[in-house]
């Protein structure tokens, strides 16, 4: 790790059908965060387009791109120009019939530091991701960068403590979750609150259990279901940063786009792990059944 305190930029944006408009918005957000001192900027899940998984349509596979490819070239050039590390999230075409939901980390020299392919793939009303995405095959490996070892996961991964734990066990300095999650608009207000709070609690729990900061960047705004099967998704924003005891360092708007820079004290992870030595006290001799689907 090259530094103890790290300024992290979060770009929370809404998206439209025009990919170039979305890309320009992401670029503007990155530039804004860099101007505020960010050395690492995190973008939301699938930030170059609409959340197309609301319905199953084979034509949407045409939105995928290769890695390396046009977006990694473009954001890599920006990373080099600004001298920062950027976490993007792209729809990857790996081969005919094999597509992934892939986070790409771009180093400050413009090179690809590494990629992470989303491991947990949901299949729920308005989130038909299994139709589009092959589950990741790269495991839970932090990506080495000039600002630290980044434990990058994606959206649905954030509900699984196993992924966060494995990233922490492999030496991640912080956990990062590009995200696209919102309300199905027919949900009651109480149900919406329960869903959003569960999402926050789960990730703050990963911070506490692993003694690591968590950076979660979600999209915002309404996106209609063009098939009219549902009434669309209201993405709830609420991007946030939590410290290694789960404390909020930043909590974003639920309705507005925003570019925010948050300073994270990476040394606090070691301080917290000394007083809460969860890794020391893990009963690794008794966890074999965790590799089973269910015990009975």
d(CA 36, CA 293): 46
Q: Which long-range contacts (CB under 8 A, 24 or more apart) does 18-26 make?
A: 19/48, 19/49, 19/63, 22/47, 22/48, 22/49, 23/48, 23/71, 23/74, 25/257, 26/75, 26/88
Q: Which CATH number fits domain 5-291: 3.40.50.2300, 3.60.110.10, 3.30.2080.10, 1.20.1530.20?
A: 3.60.110.10
Report d(CA 55, CA 165) in Å as an integer: 32
In terms of pLDDT, which residue wins out, 250 or 185? Answer: 250
Per-residue pLDDT band at 136 (split at 50, 70, 90): very high
Q: Domain ranges in the chain?
A: 5-291
Which pLDDT band holds residue 1 (cuts at 50, 70, 90)? very low
In angstroms, rounded to a whole number, what is the distance separating the alpha carbons of residues 105 and 75?
10
User: Across residues 170-184, what is the average pLDDT?
Assistant: 97
Please classify residue 91 by burial: count the beta carbons closer than 10 Å to its beta carbon, then call 0-12 exposed, 13-18 middle and 19+ buried: buried
Indicate whether 41 pLDDT > 50: yes
Q: Which of 25, 39, 45, 53 is catalytic?
A: 45
Nearest one of 241, 249, 240, 202 to 220, comparing CA atoms: 240
Q: Write down the catalytic residue from 33, 129, 155, 223.
A: 155
Strand-strand pairing, 148-152 and 233-236: unpaired
Asked if 33 is an active-site residue, the reply is no
pLDDT at 153 over 60: yes
Catalytic status, residue 15:
no
Q: What integer best gives the mean pLDDT of the chain? A: 96
In sequence order, which ranges of the chain are alpha helices (DSSP H)?
A: 19-35, 70-82, 161-169, 189-210, 268-275, 278-281
Residue range 245-293, pLDDT digits in tens: 999 999 999 999 999 999 999 999 999 999 999 999 999 999 999 999 9
Distance between CA atoms of 250 and 207, rounded to whole angstroms? 14
Each residue of 58-109: pLDDT tens digit?
999 999 999 999 999 999 999 999 999 999 999 999 999 999 999 999 999 9
Instruction: Say how far apart CA 83 and CA 276 lie, in whole Å.
Output: 36
User: Which position among 93, 118, 129, 223 bears the catalytic label?
Assistant: 118
Closest by CA to 258, choosing from 103, 29, 77, is: 29
Assess whether 247 carries a catalytic annotation: no
Among candidate residues 235, 228, 242, 196, the one with its CA nearest the CA of residue 47: 235
Q: Grade residue 3 by pLDDT with cuts at 50, 70 and 90.
A: low
- Is 120 within 8 Å of 157 (Cβ atoms)? yes
């Amino acid at each position: 790790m090259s530094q103890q305190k790290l300024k992290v930029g979060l770009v929370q944006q809404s998206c439209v059908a025009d990919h170039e408009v979305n890309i320009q918005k992401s670029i503007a957000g990155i530039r804004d965060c860099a101007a505020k001192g960010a050395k690492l900027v995190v973008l939301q899940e699938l930030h170059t387009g609409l959340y197309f998984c609301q319905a199953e349509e084979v034509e949407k596979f045409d939105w995928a791109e290769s890695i390396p490819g046009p977006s990694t070239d473009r954001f890599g050039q920006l990373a080099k120009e600004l001298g920062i590390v950027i976490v993007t999230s792209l729809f990857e075409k790996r081969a005919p019939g094999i597509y992934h939901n892939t986070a790409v980390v771009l180093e400050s020299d413009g090179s690809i530091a590494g990629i992470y392919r989303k491991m947990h793939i949901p299949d729920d009303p308005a989130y038909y991701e299994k139709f589009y995405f092959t589950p990741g095959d790269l495991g839970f490996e932090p990506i080495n960068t000039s600002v630290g070892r980044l434990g990058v996961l994606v959206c649905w991964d954030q509900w699984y403590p196993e992924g966060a734990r494995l990233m922490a066990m492999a030496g991640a300095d912080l956990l990062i979750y590009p995200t696209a999650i919102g309300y199905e608009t027919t949900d009651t207000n109480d149900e919406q609150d329960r869903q959003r709070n569960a999402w926050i609690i789960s990730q703050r729990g990963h911070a506490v259990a692993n003694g690591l900061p968590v950076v979660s960047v979600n999209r915002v705004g309404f996106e209609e279901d063009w098939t009219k099967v549902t009434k669309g998704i209201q993405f709830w924003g609420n991007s946030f940063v939590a410290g290694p005891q789960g404390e909020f360092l930043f909590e974003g708007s639920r309705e507005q786009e925003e570019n925010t820079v948050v300073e994270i004290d990476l040394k606090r992870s070691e301080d917290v792990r000394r007083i809460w030595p969860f890794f020391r006290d893990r009963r690794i001799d008794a966890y074999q059944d965790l590799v089973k689907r269910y015990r009975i």
